[in-house]
Chains A and B, each alone.
Chain A
Amino acid sequence: MAAGSVSEFIAKIDDYIEQGVTDGLPVIPPSVERVEAMVAASGRGADEVVGLLPPTYGEANVRDVAINATMAGCLPEYMPVILAAVEVMLEPSFHLDHLATSTKGNAPLVIVNGPIRKEIGLNCTKNVLGPGARANATIGRAIRLLLINVGGSVPGVTDHSCFGHGGKYTYTIGEDEESSPWEPLHVESGFAAEDSTVTVMGSEAPRYVSSVASPKCPEVTLLRIADTMSTLASFGMTGRSEAFVLLGPDHRNAVAEAGWSKADVRNFLHERSGRPAADLDAGQPPDRPGSLPHLREREGYRPDDWIPVFGSADDIHIVAAGGAGIVSLVCYGSPSLDYGRHGQRRIDRPNGVPR
């Protein structure tokens, strides 16, 4: 590229940032050719409406998605994943309006399953959620740019998050199906192993859980995860929520070697995630006694009554991810399932794209 062209290119990038159509980082100027390639890779028409994005309820069509995906740095083959993720977020139960505007600062956590993970080079293992893989870095970014530019969820203006977190730039992973001792997330939900799916949940920043793992005492690691999910300040203690546990290989292998199934893990975490009622009372301003929904449900509760975090073991989702070491992550959902719950759908692939 000639020196003049480079200067023009940089000026164009600066102009996009100045216009407020980025996440603060430089974007790729969306050339007609690139956007057309993105649309073609989706297998859909450019004018096909995807949905109305809050808070302005701007209409997003496939071309809009392609433009923002281009700006984010995506490759055309990522388009089916992005479109499926956006469609999950448009399901009424997801409550995208809450995610796009709330003070809570949640971000769409995108989990991809099936063959497409490998085809597009999604990282599922070491340093996942960190930098390094283009697909992880740009798929979540495309969704963020779409929310800003079409939905009008403008940071600090109509996106009222008290605090953001790194996942608001991108928050995309693949499940490490190949090294998991259990069936993957999408197969658990009834999809075929050869299907590719996307699962999305509005999520807090991930919480680290460190634990040396041993198959002789899998409870130790799981207790630490349960403890992490049971902090007084957690939104989950003030309303029924859900969580994705990204279980690292050391932890999941030790637990599985001890003979535990995914259902066993979920049930254990459900039983051990919670606090005595007295703890919840102590963590509540005295002029609002008993205002916690968990306690309101229990007229005449006693101080030592156990108050579970989750309404059901089914609200705890186990995903194999991450690299070797002593860390797993807990990703909490909305403050209440009434404010949004995760969704999942199959990724539709255009004809001619290998499954």
Chain B
Amino acid sequence: MHDAIQVEGHDIPGVAICTEPFSYGAAQLAKMRGAEGFRFAVVEHPLGSLGDDDLWHRAEAALPQVVDIATGSR
């Protein structure tokens, strides 16, 4: 979230991706950073213990969200 907010501040599109259990914390962090409502992509948990195939499915689930956030309004 920090990185995405930082690069957006330089007019560079940045989209954070997190898994569902971390979405509340991500939203709160954006609020603390003065960027309440900053949108980010959310995918199913977990990520860290996945093999390549499952990880690919997560990426497929994230992609439309990322495109929507990067090309839509914040």
The CA of A288 and the CA of B52, in the complex, are separated in Å by: 9
**B-side contacts of A158, CB under 8 Å:** 25, 28-29, 32
Contact residue among B25, B49, B51 (Cβ-Cβ distance under 8 Å from A157): B25
Min distance, Cβ B17 to any Cβ of chain A, angstroms: 15
B2 on interface, CB distance cutoff 8 Å: yes
Q: Given A154-B28, A287-B51, A288-B51, are A56 and B22 neighbors across the interface (CB < 8 Å)?
A: no
Residue of A nearest to B34 (CB): A56
**B-side contacts of A287, CB under 8 Å:** 51
B74 on interface, CB distance cutoff 8 Å: no
The CA of A54 and the CA of B33, in the complex, are separated in Å by: 11
The CA of A317 and the CA of B42, in the complex, are separated in Å by: 41
Contact residue among A56, A160, A285 (Cβ-Cβ distance under 8 Å from B32): A56
What are the interface flags for A153-185 relative to B under an 8 Å C-beta threshold, 1 for contact and 0 otherwise? 010011010000000000000000000000000
Decide: A97 and B24 in contact? CB cutoff 8 A.
Answer: no
Decide: B29 and A152 in contact? CB cutoff 8 A.
Answer: yes
Contact residue among B2, B22, B49, B51 (Cβ-Cβ distance under 8 Å from A160): B22
A-B contact count (CB 8 A): 26
Decide: A157 and B24 in contact? CB cutoff 8 A.
Answer: yes
**A-side contacts of B25, CB under 8 Å:** 157-158, 160
Min distance, Cβ B65 to any Cβ of chain A, angstroms: 21
Contact residue among B24, B33, B49, B51 (Cβ-Cβ distance under 8 Å from A56): B33
User: Please, how many residues of chain A have a CB less than 8 angstroms from a CB on the other chain?
Assistant: 13
A55 on interface, CB distance cutoff 8 Å: yes
The CA of A133 and the CA of B24, in the complex, are separated in Å by: 38
User: Please, how many residues of chain B have a CB less than 8 angstroms from a CB on the other chain?
Assistant: 11
Q: Chain A's interface: helix, strand, loop or mixed, by majority?
A: loop
What are the interface flags for B32-45 relative to A under an 8 Å C-beta threshold, 1 for contact and 0 otherwise? 11000000000000
A208 on interface, CB distance cutoff 8 Å: no
**A-side contacts of B22, CB under 8 Å:** 160
Q: Which of A126-171 contact B (CB under 8 A)?
A: 152, 154, 157-158, 160
Residue of B nearest to A97 (CB): B2
Q: Which of A218-255 contact B (CB under 8 A)?
A: none
The CA of A213 and the CA of B63, in the complex, are separated in Å by: 59
Decide: B29 and A55 in contact? CB cutoff 8 A.
Answer: yes
Decide: A57 and B2 in contact? CB cutoff 8 A.
Answer: yes
Q: Which of A40-97 contact B (CB under 8 A)?
A: 54-57, 97
The CA of A107 and the CA of B25, in the complex, are separated in Å by: 19
Decide: B2 and A55 in contact? CB cutoff 8 A.
Answer: yes
Q: Which of A85-117 contact B (CB under 8 A)?
A: 97
Q: Given A287-B51, A288-B51, are A152 and B32 neighbors across the interface (CB < 8 Å)?
A: yes
**B-side contacts of A157, CB under 8 Å:** 24-25, 28
Q: Which of B29-74 contact A (CB under 8 A)?
A: 29, 32-33, 49, 51
Contact residue among A56, A285, A288 (Cβ-Cβ distance under 8 Å from B29): A56
The CA of A154 and the CA of B24, in the complex, are separated in Å by: 12
The CA of A56 and the CA of B25, in the complex, are separated in Å by: 12
**B-side contacts of A288, CB under 8 Å:** 51
The CA of A267 and the CA of B28, in the complex, are separated in Å by: 46
The CA of A149 and the CA of B25, in the complex, are separated in Å by: 16
* A–B complex contacts, Cβ < 8 Å, 8 sampled: A54-B2, A55-B29, A57-B2, A152-B29, A158-B25, A160-B22, A285-B51, A287-B51
The 8 A-B residue pairs with the shortest CB-CB distance in the complex, in nearest-first order: A287-B51, A56-B32, A152-B32, A157-B28, A158-B29, A158-B25, A157-B25, A288-B51
